[in-house]
Structure 1
Amino acid sequence: MNVIKIEGISDSYPEPIEGTFEWFYCKESNNSSCDLYEAEEIVKSKERYSGTVCHLIHYPEGRVYSPFKQKENVYIERPVWDKGAFYFLEVDFSKQKIQIYSYFPHSQRLEIIKELPLEIVKDCYNLMLKVSPLMLTRTGNDGVYEIVWPENKRIEIGDTESLLFREGNDLYFSGWWEDPEYHENIIIRDIDTGEVKENYPGYLCKMPNGVYWRIQ
């Protein structure tokens, strides 16, 4: 059996990054299984939050890249991959800042591309980056999908809809229902009005070469 020992990460499991077959990520924190919203709740309760960092692992040799150092009250979300670069969302609860970084692993170049005040969002519930193009988005539990940056859009969506990607002025959502078996639909909405342009059964799966497989 051929086993490669991965150095530089501990007690965390690598997961694939959508859009590339070469890269995996894992998050590391003293607060086990804590997501961004839960981290925000810990800080609001005046408890100590140790911070979360995110590592990249390159396939096949297993080399680890760690663009960030763990800091108290700072959360680094899992990366998105777009056109040869990674993008990370960082929320610094002490400074009340949202920061978006680009990272180029082969040159190990980390650059901040946008800084926003944390108060720009109601809370960090489902706050995340999406591609392509790069967007900071948020889905509350109030039936509203919000694009926070680089533009501000708010559209009403169904209770079970979640964004897959944007293509021009079209937002592609996945929506599910049970009757009683589980089913999914692809729902295409206009970014400006939120109106449904298409709605058809099935799934869209993004392949490493950027092509989507439509399954129905």
Structure 2
Amino acid sequence: MNIIKIEGISELYPEPIEGTSEWYYCKGSKDYFCDLYEAEEIVKSGKDFSGMTCHLIHYPEGTVYSPFKLQENRYIEGPVWDNGKLYFLSVDFNIQRIQIYSYLPNVEIIELIKELPLGIVKDCYNLMLKVSPITLTRDENEGILEIIWPNNREIQVGPTETLLFRDGDDLYLSEWHENPEYNENVIVRDLKTGKIKEKQPGYLCRLPDGVYWRI
């Protein structure tokens, strides 16, 4: 048995990052854990949010990287992996800005690649990054999928459809239904028109190095 003591984080549980076998992440705050939408509600209520940051852990040796400092009223989401880089969504309620960062962990280089006004979205519910290319999206759960950046689209989708990832102008979504047994479909929609190009039963599993299993 080989037990490695992870230094630099405490009482935080690492989670795998889809698309890479080398990196794990954990989010941390001074207070209790909350999601991005809950943090936004705290700020809107007139209170200060203690902040949420994100740490990275490299496999196999367990080195911890902390590209962001914990900052009041700023929320750092868990990263996505795309083409050898990690990408972070940051919402800074102090300046009312949405920020997207790229991070090269091996050389610890962080870069702000896009900044948007927070007012371009109704709220932060289901605001997240998807690949590939890196895309800022928002699923409102009212049958509308918002593509916010780098394109600006609203796409009508089914009530149980969820965006998995993007491949150029193809949007891959998962759809579930119970009739009476639970089943899933993989749906491919055109980014420009929103129309369904393909629909097949099953689901997709993302593996390292850009590989997906269709099951």
User: Normalising by structure 1, what TM-score?
Assistant: 0.97
- Residues paired across the two proteins, number: 215
**Does the CA-based 8 Å contact 1:6-1:62 persist in structure 2?**
yes
- Structure 2 contact 162–174 (Cα < 8 Å) conserved: yes
Measure how far apart 1:73 and its partner are. Answer: 0.4
Secondary structure in 1 aligned to 2:9? Answer: coil
> Is contact 1:10–1:28 with CA below 8 Å preserved after alignment?
no
Q: Aligned partner of 1:48: which letter? A: D
Residue 206 of structure 1 and its aligned partner are, at CA, apart by: 1.1
The code of the aligned residue for 2:97 comes to: K
1:105 aligns with 2:105: yes
Take 2:92 and 2:111, find their aligned partners in 1: how far apart are those partners?
Answer: 16
Shift of 1:81: 0.7
Structure 2 residue 17 is the aligned partner of structure 1 residue 26: no
CA apart distance, 1:190: 1.1
Q: Percent same amino acid among aligned pairs? A: 68
Partner of 1:157: 157
Alignment of 1:138-153 (within 5 A): 138-153=138-153
Corresponding residue SS for 2:72:
coil
- Confirm or deny that 1:77 pairs with 2:77: yes
Contact 2:129 2:136 in 1 (8 A): yes
Following superposition, the deviation at residue 48 of structure 1 comes to 2.3
Measured after TM superposition, the shift of residue 40 of structure 1 is: 0.4
2:131/2:167 contact within 8 Å kept: no
Q: What is the CA distance between 1:5 and its match in structure 2?
A: 0.7
Judge conservation of contact 2:186–2:199 (CA < 8 Å) in 1.
Answer: yes
Asked whether the equivalents of residues 16 and 25 of structure 2 are also in contact (C-alpha less than 8 Å), the reply is: yes
| Aligned mates of 2:80, 2:132 — CA distance in 1 | 10
SS of aligned partner of 2:47:
coil
How far is the alpha carbon of 1:64 from its aligned partner?
A: 0.3
Question: Cα–Cα, structure 1 residues 92 and 183, in superposed 2: closer, same or farther, change >3 Å?
Answer: same
Q: Tell me by how many angstroms 1:213 deviates.
A: 0.6
TM-score normalised to structure 2 length: 0.97
Mapped to 2, the partners of 1:106 and 1:211 lie a distance apart of 22
Give the conservation status (yes or no) of the 8 Å contact 1:11–1:28: no
**1:125 aligned onto 2:125:** yes
Query: Is the contact between residue 31 and residue 49 of structure 1 (CA under 8 Å) also seen in structure 2?
Result: no
What letter is aligned with 1:199? Answer: K
The alpha carbon displacement at 1:56 in A equals 0.5
Tell whether the 8 Å contact from 1:15 to 1:25 is kept in structure 2 after alignment: yes
Q: CA deviation at 1:169?
A: 1.5
Structure 1 stretch displaced more, 160-169 or 120-129:
160-169
| In 2: Cα distance, 1:177 partner to 1:32 partner | 34
Q: Tell me how far apart the structure 1 counterparts of residues 141 and 46 of structure 2 sit (CA, whole Å).
A: 24
The correspondence of residues 1-216 of structure 1 with structure 2, limited to 5 A, is: 1-215=1-215
Find the residue that maps to 1:38 and give its secondary structure.
Answer: helix
Counterpart residue type for residue 177 of structure 1? H
Amino acid in the other structure paired with 1:60: P
1:145 aligned partner, one-letter code = L
In the alignment, the residues of structure 2 paired with residue 38 and residue 28 of structure 1 have an alpha-carbon distance, to the nearest angstrom, of 15
For residues 163 and 124 of structure 1, the distance between their equivalents in structure 2, rounded to whole angstroms, comes to 16
Aligned-residue CA RMSD in angstroms? Answer: 0.9
Please report how far the alpha carbon of residue 75 of structure 1 lies from its aligned counterpart in structure 2 after TM superposition. 0.1
Q: Kindly state the Cα deviation for residue 33 of structure 1 after the two structures are TM-superposed.
A: 3.0
CA distance in 1, matches of 2:177, 2:42: 33
What secondary structure, in the 3-state scheme, does the structure 2 residue paired with 1:209 have?
helix
* 1:164 Cα deviation after fit: 1.0
Contiguous gaps of at least 5 residues in structure 2: none
Once the two structures are TM-superposed, the CA of residue 31 in structure 1 deviates from its matched residue by: 3.8
